[in-house]
Amino acid sequence: MVALTLPDGQVRQYYAAVSGADVAADIGPGLAKAALAIRVNGDLWDLSRDLGDDADIAIVTAKDEDAVVLDLLRHDAAHVLAEAAKELYPDIQVTIGPAISDGFYYDFSRDEPFTPEDLEAMEARMHEIVDRNEEVTREVWDRDAAIELFKSMGEHYKAEIISEIPGDEPITLYRQGEFIDLCRGPHLPSTGKLGHAFKLTKLAGAYWRGDARNEMLQRVYGTAWRNEKELKAYLHRLEEAERRDHRRLGREMDLFHFQEEAAGMAFWHPKGWTLYRTVEAYMRRTLEAAGYVEVKTPQLVDRMLWEASGHWEKFRENMYTSESEERIFALKPMNCPCHVQIFNQGVKSYRELPLRMAEFGSCHRYEPSGSLHGLMRVRGFVQDDAHIFCTEDQINSETKQFCELLTGIYRDFGFEEVQARFSDRPEVRAGTDETWDKAEGALRNAVEEAGIDYTLNPGDGAFYGPKLDFELTDAIGRQWQCGTLQVDFVLPERLDAEYTGEDGARHRPVMLHRAILGSFERFIGILVEQYAGGFPLWLAPTQVAVTTITHDGDAFASEVAERLKVAGLRVVLDTSAEKINYKVRLHSHAKVPAIIAVGKREAEDGSVSIRRLGSKEQQSLALDEAVARLSDEARAPGT
RNA sequence: GCCCUCAUAGCUCAGGGGUAGAGCACCCCCUUGGUAAGGGGGAGGCCGAAAGUUCGAAUCUUUCUGAGGGCACCA
């Protein structure tokens, strides 16, 4: 006899073996129809599986927790895709096909590449398979028999996967129609349950087992949802992301461009550079207020220094080099060794610590061509870098201060949500356990006291010290890793940094490597996407457009523009012979936050009509009042 | 770096073995119109680069470069 306890506490007793489907049917025909899977003592099972023992159970339907249902659905979609692919191209090998966020993929091995037409054909076949409503059955196989089966089908990848499944795990195969696949499950009871709210989205290459030394497989990506409405919402989300794409907006708003001759390095246009300088000025001000000193170090440094710092050995492949006077120089990929050189000038006393040394350091790194991505991944960039030289005892307070500085800065840029990832000691590391204890404890305390949510990343610290990585969340929920704080015991040693302590003896300082924006390029890319180009007044490259309705307003418009400029605002004056409708449209497209229109009326009474970006409303104000309000709003944080 | 796709005017794109086309943007003229496109005219391209096939290549082939989507990488 089996006793099954439902979520509401009700206990059902069965004398014969029952499956989840049986129980659902027993409870009611509606549930039987809606049932997708069953939860058995917390684990998700197929409906067809026999429930052997007493258990707490819950029938899973489409109404259940999003993540669970969507995962089931997407995993099934991957199987249906594989079935479709096998039907259409019998010569291919299937490998793996998991559910991922927003969808699923399946990796295939095939000599001939898939074409976009193949993608359409596979999608069409998937819909057919759903309509066939094939029953999905679970089978437990003997390991060797399963390996033989897949080998006989020419599915060598599958055979390889089976042979690596731990011995104590059962080998389960799922059959739907003619298609049989190795899978942990669970699956929906039949292919019809998938429904039609899915779409194949893209073709891509992917290495077998994610290793670049292996064969490149062909990956087919798709998205799958419970219903058409959700699918549409998802596609809409993609459009929204595309609308915000900084590469597109960068061109449309005339902020920057890239070209072949300098792949991965931005050409900043006047408007983009204005934005850049605004961000830079803000950072300079904020860092100075936080007790940093700013420095500037050389771009091109002899390899001797990189050898001493250890970069030459570890990162040489990614460094640009140049030769002259029979010496090899490298464009700096980081600023830290140079900062230590400044620290090392003269004799440092403990009284000078913590020494917070900042640089807007222009760095170059050779990034693989395939990884370049607009401003987000570039080869030439400027870090908002700084190194804090301090004692071990100061790690705690410096970290805490840093966390506060960072959240304040993110907030000023409109990012409220910050998450941290805390990476502690790796297996192979420098420094004593005692020092690591101290450093880890300091970082963890600080991030907690700063009220930042954090997750643990055990063993992922740098060999020279633990670190905190900071992620901010943007307006459409995407996360970007920008800030970092790394404790370093090694570099001061390698480059022989020291200070005289209270005891008169020489000591090694600890170095905290830290950045908040990460790189200006990337951060500005994120800002563009965050605001979809519609910047708050203080950041907008052009803050006010002064437009005229008729030429009667030209003289007054010039006066208005001049007044605004004197008040420190970035203004364009548009006295062209276009109609006001056209001008409003033009400057709205340019995402100018404030459009002022002046005509005869305004010229006569010395007022202006202001229209804010995104609003259809106009506000009529006296010129003085308008200048005061706009310049007040345009004031950058900290000024 | 690897796989797939792409590269035609400033932008978005059409065309396609017989030396190029639209809309917007740009310039000029007319229009002075009260809040998201008034009208007319003009200028603008060696069709990403190189080689090959061909009587003839923007079009076909190959290589290269760059871009897009992934994978790998990301001190």
- Domain range holding A555? 544-633
pLDDT band at A450 (very low <50, low <70, confident <90, very high): confident
Q: Is residue A490 part of a domain?
A: yes
Rounded distance, CA A36 to CA A64, Å? 10
Domain final residue, candidates A60, A80, A97: A60
Q: Which nucleotide is nearest to A207 (CA to C1')?
A: B71
- A101 and A115 share a domain? yes
Nearest nucleotide by C1' position to the A553 CA atom = B32
The predicted structure's pLDDT at residue A57: 85
Residues A274 and A234 in one domain: no
- Write phi, then psi, for A196 (nearest 5 degrees): -115, 10
Say what the pLDDT of residue A48 is.
85
A210-CA/B1-C1' distance, Å: 14
In a domain, A23, yes or no: yes
The lowest-confidence range among A24-38, A113-127, A535-549, A602-616 is: A24-38
A511 in the same domain as A442: yes
Confidence of residue A109 (pLDDT cuts 50, 70, 90): very high
Question: How far apart are the C-alpha atoms of A372 and A333, rounded to whole Å?
Answer: 16
Beta bridge partners of A594: A544, A612
Q: Which CATH number does the domain housing residue A620 bear?
A: 3.40.50.800
Among candidate residues A556, A536, A404, A565, the one with its CA nearest the CA of residue A475: A536
H/E stretch holding A500 reads: strand A499-500
> In the predicted model, is pLDDT for residue A520 greater than 90?
yes
Give the three-state DSSP class for A33.
helix
Residues A314 and A192 in one domain: no
Crossing angle of the two packed helices A554-566 and A623-633, in degrees rounded to 10: 40
| A70 lies in some domain | yes
Per-residue tokens: A636: 């950058």
Q: And the tokens for A249?
A: 């907006």
- The CA distance from A539 to A523, in Å, is 13
| CA closest to B75 C1', residue | A315
The percentage of residues in chain A with a pLDDT greater than 70, rounded to a whole number, is 100
Cα dihedral value A203, A205, A208, A211, nearest 10: -140
Q: What is the pLDDT of residue A318?
A: 94
Lowest mean pLDDT among A334-343, A448-457, A616-625: A448-457
The answer to whether position A534 is within a domain reads no
Nucleotide nearest to A581 (CA to C1'): B35
What DSSP string describes A159-182? HHHHHTS-TTS-EEEEEETTEEEE
Average pLDDT over residues A316-332: 94
Cα dihedral value A108, A113, A116, A118, nearest 10:
-60
Residue A549: CA count within 13 A, CB half-sphere: 11
- How far is A329 from A547, CA to CA, in rounded Å? 53
Residue A611 has pLDDT above 90, yes or no: yes
Biggest CA-to-CA distance, chain A: 95
pLDDT tens-digit readout, A351-375: 999 999 999 999 999 999 999 999 9
Measure CA A554 to chain center. Answer: 47
Looking at the structure, tell me whether residues A418 and A555 fall in a common domain.
no
Same structural domain, A37 and A84: no
Using an 8 Å Cβ cutoff, are A561 and A573 in contact? yes
- Measured CA to C1', the nucleotide nearest A588 is B36
pLDDT of residue A111: 87
Whether residues A102 and A53 fall in one domain? no
Please name the helix (run of DSSP H) or strand (run of DSSP E) that holds residue A530, with its range, or none.
helix A520-531
Query: Contact, A459 vs A424, CB < 8 A?
Result: yes
Beta bridge partners of A435: none
Residues 6+ apart with CB under 8 A from A615: none
What integer pLDDT is reported at residue A288 of this predicted model? 97
Verify that A319 and A441 share a domain, yes or no: yes
**Residues A510, A520: contact at Cβ < 8 Å?**
no
Question: How far apart are alpha carbons A556 and A3 in whole angstroms?
Answer: 87
| A242, A268, A298 - which closes a domain | A242
List the A12 CA – B25 C1' distance (angstroms).
Answer: 73
Q: Give me the residues paired with residue A3 across strands.
A: A13
Beta strand pairing call for A418-423 and A467-473: antiparallel
- Strand B nucleotides with an atom less than 7 Å from a protein beta carbon: 1-5, 11-12, 30-38, 65-75
Question: Where is A217: in which H helix or E strand?
Answer: strand A216-224
Check whether residue A270 and residue A340 sit in a common domain. Answer: yes
Name the closest residue (CA) to the C1' of nucleotide B70.
Answer: A204
Contacts of A629 (CB under 8 A, 6+ apart): A621
Please report the ipTM that was assigned to this predicted complex: 0.95
Please state the rounded mean pLDDT for residues A190-219. 95
Residues A131 and A210 in one domain: yes
Distance from CA of residue A562 to its chain's centroid? 42
Whichever domain contains A11, its CATH number is: 3.10.20.30
Burial string for A541-559 (b: 16+ CB within 10 Å, else e) reads: bbbbbbbbbeebbeebbee
Kindly list the distances between the CA atom of residue A238 and the CA atoms of A72, A223, A228, A439, A603, in Å, as whole numbers in the listed order: 22, 11, 15, 42, 46
State the nearest residue by CA to the C1' of B74: A367
What is the CATH classification number for the domain harbouring A509? Answer: 3.30.930.10
Q: At what angle do helices A228-244 and A520-531 cross, to 10 degrees?
A: 130
Q: How does residue A431 score in pLDDT terms, banded at 50, 70 and 90? A: confident
CATH number for the domain spanning A183: value is 3.30.980.10
Length of chain A, in residues: 639
Domain-embedded: residue A593: yes
Are A610 and A590 members of one domain?
yes
End of a domain among A177, A208, A242? A242
The reported pLDDT for the residue numbered A529 is: 96
CA distances from A141 to A83, A144, A146, A174 (A): 20, 8, 6, 10
Instruction: State the pLDDT at residue A429.
Output: 87
Buried b (16+ CB within 10 A) or exposed e, A461-472: bbbbbbbbbbbb
In a domain, A638, yes or no: no
Q: Is residue A150 part of a domain?
A: yes
Residue A71 CB: number of other CB atoms within 10 A? 18
Q: What is the mean pLDDT of residues A581-594?
A: 96
Q: How far is the CA of A179 from the C1' of B58 (A)?
A: 48
Mean pLDDT of chain A: 94
The two tokens of residue A60 are: 């899973």
Structural domain includes residue A527: no
Question: Which residue in this structure is represented by tokens 């523009």?
Answer: A561
* Residue-wise pLDDT tens digits, A386-414: 999 999 999 999 999 999 999 999 999 99
Residue A247 has pLDDT above 90, yes or no: yes
CA of A115 to C1' of B57 (A): 26
**Contacts for A343 with CB less than 8 Å, ≥ 6 apart:** A355, A357, A389, A497, A509
The gap between A525 CA and B50 C1' (Å) is 35
User: Does one domain contain both A226 and A289?
Assistant: no
In the predicted structure, residue A232 carries a pLDDT above the cut 90: yes
Report how many domains make up chain A: 4
Would you say residue A499 has pLDDT above 90? Answer: yes
Kindly report, residue by residue over A17-44, the tens digit of the pLDDT: 888 888 888 888 888 888 899 988 888 8
- List pLDDT tens digits, range A46-98: 988 888 888 888 888 888 877 889 999 999 999 999 999 999 999 999 999 99
* Active-site residue list of A: 336, 365, 383, 385, 387, 467, 513
